[in-house]
Amino acid sequence: MSTHSPPVRRLSDWDHDRLERLAETHGTPLYVLDVGRVQANYQRFANAFPDAHVMYAAKAHTGRAVLSALLEMGADIECAAAGELQRAIDAGADPNTLQYTAVNPPDGDLDYVVEIAEESPGLTITGGAGDTFDRLEERGYDGRVAIRINPGIGTGHHEKVATGRDAKFGIPYDDVPALADALRGRFDLVGLHAHMGSGVLQDDLDDHCRAIGKVADLARDIGDEDLAFVDFGGGFGVPYREDVAPLDMQAVGEKVRDAIGDLAAQTKLEPGRYVVADAECLLTEVNTVKQTPAAAVVGVDASLATLLRPAMFDSHHPIRNISAPDRKARPVSVGGPCCTSADVFATDRPVARPEREELLAIGNAGAYGYELANQFHSQPRPAEVAIEDGETRVVRRRETMTDVVRVEDEASE
């Protein structure tokens, strides 16, 4: 693990020569993961919350290289879907340490989780609807559960991630005490859970802590001495724009502790984005450069199928010309090969003037990057390589067209 752990890693901090060599060896588009940075980010967060139980929120990046590295550090894993549970177990997690936070879980997911819990009774299932607990009981489950609370306060970088005020997520705040009383006779109620939003930076921190305080107050109202934990979720962000300052996690830790106050139950936190966002970049090659009356257009081989966040959330990701970083910058629009205007990574963004066959890097691609990769336009998903202890290895091979059509070919056999 790297001993140098600045609070955020910019694209200029990556070894450009190494990135060029990786692109030459493995092709593009290519995700490049720095495992040491993942571990350093996790350690920095854990240091800021020494009395909390810190779990990694797997949905940010479920790659085995990430999960295994964090498990080696003693991190536990929080999973939002049955597939994430399976991936955590495959990476070496003890199922008794896992927490499953369901959102409208399909029947197959609940069947799978209950089956795991039969052999691993330490697993905790979090429900965000009364129906979820009824469905668990119908399956004969009476083990460890937590209630997901909707605090009515949402925070984060986009309205689509402000889960704390979205009715889809959690039990309405005022309904929790009655539900807690009802569940205690049916299950082993061990905790409360809330998640306010994602990508929280300084401007959102006061609202985030206000929501944390509401959840802590509710825990005390229903008897925090009878709970094993209160889970305040994650949501702490990293600056995607290079002129935005990163969070001072030690100061954040103090502010969160003040918001929680005295609590008999164990505090849990679930960083996801904070751990992995700046630990990965996406490499893409320029294939088209054209000047139009409206814009200078740079076409690349990555697309919204490779990195969906700009199209889905209008997210800003830094872009750097790795081949010629010192060349004079000019405003360009950078987009991929998909037949939609949404397939754009930047519009009128100053970038060192790209030329055909040069290599660009897109930063902060570790959180919800490969996780949201897809096969739109029948594009094979990219490869991913991991840098660890000075060595590089392929952790996800590049898909082929055979992979893209395999499920159809197998169905016709």
CATH number assigned to the domain comprising residue 114: 3.20.20.10
| In the chain, % of residues over pLDDT 90 | 88
The Cα–Cα gap between 113 and 141 comes to 10
Higher per-residue pLDDT: 165 or 72: 72
Catalytic, out of 79, 281, 338, 339: 339
Q: What is the pLDDT of residues 237-284, one digit of tens each?
A: 999 999 999 999 999 999 999 999 999 999 999 999 999 999 999 999
What is the span of the domain harbouring residue 340? 278-411
For the cut 60, the answer to whether the pLDDT of residue 18 exceeds it is: yes
For the cut 70, the answer to whether the pLDDT of residue 203 exceeds it is: yes
**Mean pLDDT in residue range 404-409:** 94
Give the pLDDT band (50/70/90) at residue 365: very high
The Cα–Cα gap between 166 and 152 comes to 8
The mean-pLDDT minimum among 47-56, 97-106, 196-205, 402-411 falls in 196-205
Residue 135, pLDDT score? 98
Collapsing DSSP to helix, strand or coil, 48 comes out as helix
CATH number assigned to the domain comprising residue 371: 2.40.37.10
83-86 LR contacts (CB < 8 Å, sep 24+): 84/58, 84/59, 85/112, 85/113, 85/116, 86/112
Residue 16: burial class (beta carbons within 10 Å; 0-12, 13-18, 19+): middle
- Residue 331 lies inside a defined structural domain of this protein: yes
The Cα–Cα gap between 247 and 269 comes to 16
Taking the CB of residue 198, how many other CB atoms lie within 10 A of it? 28
The encoded tokens of residue 183 equal 């569940």
Collapsing DSSP to helix, strand or coil, 268 comes out as strand
Q: Sign of torsion, CA 216 222 226 230?
A: negative
Q: What is the pLDDT of residues 181-193, one digit of tens each?
A: 999 999 999 999 9
Q: Could you tell me if 328 and 254 lie in one domain? A: no
Q: Could you tell me if 297 and 373 lie in one domain? A: yes
- Residue 16 lies inside a defined structural domain of this protein: no
- Residue 88 lies inside a defined structural domain of this protein: yes
Q: Could you tell me if 179 and 324 lie in one domain? A: no
Q: What is the pLDDT of residues 94-120, one digit of tens each?
A: 999 999 998 999 999 999 999 999 999
Q: Could you tell me if 66 and 89 lie in one domain? A: yes
Q: Could you tell me if 157 and 282 lie in one domain? A: no
Tell me the DSSP string of 182-198: HHHTTSEEEEEE---EE
Size (the chain), residues:
413
Q: Could you tell me if 304 and 258 lie in one domain? A: no
Q: Could you tell me if 206 and 335 lie in one domain? A: no
* Contact status, residue 393 vs residue 385, Cβ threshold 8 Å: yes
Q: Could you tell me if 39 and 102 lie in one domain? A: yes
258-261 LR contacts (CB < 8 Å, sep 24+): 258/209, 259/209, 259/210, 259/212, 259/213, 259/216, 260/212, 260/213, 260/216, 260/230, 260/232, 261/213, 261/216
- Residue 29 lies inside a defined structural domain of this protein: no
Q: Could you tell me if 303 and 383 lie in one domain? A: yes
Residue 407, pLDDT score? 93
Q: Could you tell me if 45 and 151 lie in one domain? A: yes
Residue 20, pLDDT score? 98
Higher per-residue pLDDT: 208 or 86: 86
Q: Could you tell me if 312 and 388 lie in one domain? A: yes
Q: Could you tell me if 256 and 299 lie in one domain? A: no
Q: What is the pLDDT of residues 275-309, one digit of tens each?
A: 999 999 999 999 999 999 988 999 999 999 999 99
| Final residue before a domain boundary, out of 210, 245, 273 | 273
Number of domains in the chain: 2
The verdict on whether 209 is a catalytic residue reads no
